[in-house]
Structure 1
Amino acid sequence: MNTSPQLSPHFSLREFTASQTAALYNIDNSLPVSLLENAAYTCAQLEKVRKQLGSNPIIITSGWRCPLLNTKVGGSAGSDHAKARAVDIRCPKFGTARTIARALAASNIEFDQLILESPNTYSAWVHIGFRKGANRRQVLTKFAGDKTYYAGLKS
């Protein structure tokens, strides 16, 4: 039984803050109360993503990142993960990261950034971020081992 508080109907605080890297390095990745509103908004937007992906379960592989965790995983200093405004996701029942990114880019969902990450690897994922009232609908691709973000969905 999941006793973690729900941030939205399908997403809990536990899954939003879970991190294998935090567990490995014994990092406390608890969400500050001051960011609870951002986390709830992000998860409310994820409900729209879930619906767009055929109501299939979404796996959050990275949500909130405390500053130490963000540094440990090589996140950017201004990362929306560190503001509880972004998640990295997979949705295996819907398809590959590329298929997910294409569906979301073509949707009417108001996102800030949609990034297809490491698309040519087995572990590819989709980063999606939400900024209340300030979404850019920026679509990017970032290849593994490359620091460059390319505009659009690239092969």
Structure 2
Amino acid sequence: MMNNERLSDNFTLDEFTRSDTASRLGIINEPGEKELAALRVLVSRTIQPLRDKLGVPIHVNSGYRCPELNKAVGGVPTSQHQKGEAADLSIDGKAADILEALENSNIPFDQAILYRKQNFLHVSLKLDGVQRSNVIIKM
């Protein structure tokens, strides 16, 4: 299913729900209303501002994951991806540049996990509650 709903100037809902694994396994990866609300907040408050600051396209490797998809890709049971509060991002070049842009701004985030070897940044923003602004770097 293709959903071209615009979440911001540079991002569509389809980018945050598309999954090769879901397609291969026949999993319908559609967010509910609360997850969709969380995705809209994540994109408008964190990801689009990051895109604007970087000035280069950001690729969404993984966004929303329904529980079945999260399990299929080996995600942790408490993954914020299941709530629509997280996305794994990459750019042409080093994902560390995304983290640097995030750290050198006032862009809100809950968690930023840099996966150096896989070259992507997991970034999350809670829909409710206090943002931890927690940065983790994995080799």
Q: Structure 1-normalised TM-score?
A: 0.81
Provide the alpha-carbon RMSD of the alignment: 1.6
Q: Write out the 4+ residue segments of structure 1 that deviate beyond 4 Å after TM superposition.
A: none
Mark the structure with the bigger radius of gyration.
1
Deviations 1:37-77 (A, max 9, x none): 111111112111111212x1111010000001101111111
Query: In structure 2, what is the Cα distance between the partners aligned to 1:9 and 1:74?
Result: 31
The runs of 5 or more residues in structure 1 that have no matched partner are: 144-155
1:86 matched to 2:86: yes
Code of the aligned partner of 2:48: E
Give the structure 1 partner of residue 77 of structure 2: 77
Deviation of the 1:116 alpha carbon: 0.3
Change (3 A) 1:3 1:137: closer
The runs of 5 or more residues in structure 2 that have no matched partner are: none
CA contact (8 A) 1:105 1:114 kept: no
Give the structure 1 partner of residue 51 of structure 2: 50
Query: In structure 2, what is the Cα distance between the partners aligned to 1:42 and 1:82?
Result: 13
Residue 120 of structure 2 is aligned with which of 119, 122, 125?
125
1:112 matched to 2:113: no
Q: Which stretch has the larger CA shift, 80-89 or 99-108?
A: 99-108
Code of the aligned partner of 1:140: I
Query: In structure 1, what is the Cα distance between the partners aligned to 2:30 and 2:101?
Result: 32
Q: Structure 2-normalised TM-score?
A: 0.89
Q: SS at 1:134's partner residue?
A: coil
Code of the aligned partner of 2:20: Q
Change (3 A) 1:51 1:14: same
Deviations 1:55-109 (A, max 9, x none): x1111010000001101111111111000001000121xx301222222223221
CA contact (8 A) 2:50 2:101 kept: no
Higher relative contact order (CA 8 A, sep 6+): 2
1:25 matched to 2:1: no
Deviation of the 1:3 alpha carbon: 6.2
5 Å-filtered alignment, 1:136-155, equals: 136-143=132-139
Code of the aligned partner of 2:100: R
Query: In structure 1, what is the Cα distance between the partners aligned to 2:4 and 2:135?
Result: 32
Deviation of the 1:32 alpha carbon: 1.5
Q: SS at 2:69's partner residue?
A: helix
CA contact (8 A) 2:4 2:14 kept: yes
Change (3 A) 1:4 1:41: same
Query: In structure 2, what is the Cα distance between the partners aligned to 1:109 and 1:131?
Result: 13
Residue 99 of structure 1 is aligned with which of 97, 100, 118?
97
CA contact (8 A) 2:35 2:85 kept: no
